[in-house]
Amino acid sequence: MSLVNHLKNAGLGDKEAKVYLAMLELGPAPVLEIAAKAGVNRPTAYLQIESLKKMGLVSTQKKGKKDLYIAESPDQLEKVVEQEVKQVELRKEELKKILPELESVFNLTGDKPVVRYFEGKEGIAKILNEFLKAKEKKLLVMSSLDLVDKNVPDDILANYSRQRIEKRVSVQVIYTLTGGPRWAESDKEKFREVRYLDPKQFPFSADITIFDNNVAISNLNSGKIGGTIITDKNIAESFKAIFVLIWNLSKERTPGQN
């Protein structure tokens, strides 16, 4: 990789990198000489020099009537990168402050449901992350563990489960699984209650999760992985009613192993 590309990776623009490198090689020099060395025209060289001066990477000196420009030590690039990191952190803090307000605007749906689509395994990971934001800290889930085991990467599930427990988001899960129950019906440490259903009698082919005023429907079949989150209070309440009905009607099973 060329030095220009390395400088670009360090945060300089393409022309900034070329001009700065030319100045490092030339030492004190006028704009015309720097422009020729960098392969840019004079106005462009001047603009890049001014930009580099703001970063603290260029200083000037007079030689007679001429202005000479001098590249500061490359060590100064560390300070430039550090400053950029600080700016990113400030932006993140600012975003945190306004995010609740932005989300409230985002959720102003009027009479129409908001539907968001998520594609692939990355989309499933994003949907799981949405569950962690549940304001009520409660999830109602209907799931086929056979499909989950087969098509959702273990690292995504492990990361989600760890964060859910850390955030104390509770789950009620109605699940099917070939071979019988996997979990105890109640696990207080994992904030989890479950009901097992026989997959032959209840062949779930999609995962459904209800949280707050949202319903997430995930397709976990191979080759078609993805999901949808519908935000609508009436739809969410209807799905909650269906979940509660199935939960209450399901017979208690002998708990499986954790």
Confidence of residue 251 (pLDDT cuts 50, 70, 90): low
Report pLDDT for 256. Answer: 45
Q: In degrees, to the nearest 5, what angle opens at C-alpha 231 toward C-alphas 191 and 121?
A: 65
Report pLDDT for 195. Answer: 92
Burial class (CB in 10 A: 0-12, 13-18, 19+), 182: middle
How many CA atoms lie within 13 Å of 56's alpha carbon, on the beta-carbon side?
Answer: 11
Q: Give the whole-number percent of the chain exceeding pLDDT 90.
A: 34
For 66-81, the pLDDT digits (tens) are: 888 888 888 888 887 8
Over residues 90-118, the mean pLDDT reads 75
For 201-246, the pLDDT digits (tens) are: 888 888 999 999 999 999 888 677 889 999 999 999 999 999 999 9
Residue 2 has pLDDT above 80, yes or no: no
pTM above 0.85, yes or no: no
Report pLDDT for 237. Answer: 95
Q: What is the DSSP string of 86-152?
A: HHHHHHHHHHHHHHHHHHHHHT--TTS-EEEEEEHHHHHHHHHHHHTT-TT-EEEEEEEHHHHHHHS
What is d(CA 212, CA 139) in angstroms, rounded to the nearest whole number?
Answer: 8
Burial class (CB in 10 A: 0-12, 13-18, 19+), 217: middle
Domain boundaries, the chain: 3-77, 108-249
Backbone phi, then psi, for 33, in 5-degree steps?
-70, -40
Query: Parallel, antiparallel, or unpaired for β 207-211 and 226-231?
Result: unpaired
Backbone phi, then psi, for 208, in 5-degree steps?
-125, 130
Tokens of 107: 């959720």
Query: Parallel, antiparallel, or unpaired for β 226-231 and 214-219?
Result: antiparallel
C-alpha to C-alpha distances, 163 to 33, 159, 160, 217, nearest whole angstrom: 58, 6, 5, 21
CATH of 108-249, one of 3.30.870.10, 3.40.605.10, 3.40.50.300, 3.10.20.30: 3.30.870.10
**Least confident range of 129-138, 218-227, 249-258:** 249-258
CB 108 within 8 A of CB 213: no
Q: Which fold has domain 3-77?
A: Arc Repressor Mutant, subunit A (1.10.10)
What is d(CA 54, CA 175) in angstroms, rounded to the nearest whole number?
Answer: 60
Report pLDDT for 116. Answer: 87
- Strands (DSSP E) found in 152-213: 170-176, 186-187, 192-197, 207-211
Same topology, domains 3-77 and 108-249? Answer is no
For 185-204, the pLDDT digits (tens) are: 888 999 999 999 988 888 88
Tell me 29's DSSP state.
B
For 146-196, the pLDDT digits (tens) are: 999 888 888 889 999 999 999 999 999 999 999 888 888 888 999 999 999
Residue 112 has pLDDT above 90, yes or no: no
Report pLDDT for 103. Answer: 66
Q: What is the DSSP string of 94-106?
A: HHHHHHHHHHHHH
Report pLDDT for 221. Answer: 80
Q: Give the whole-number percent of the chain exceeding pLDDT 70.
A: 92
Report pLDDT for 255. Answer: 44
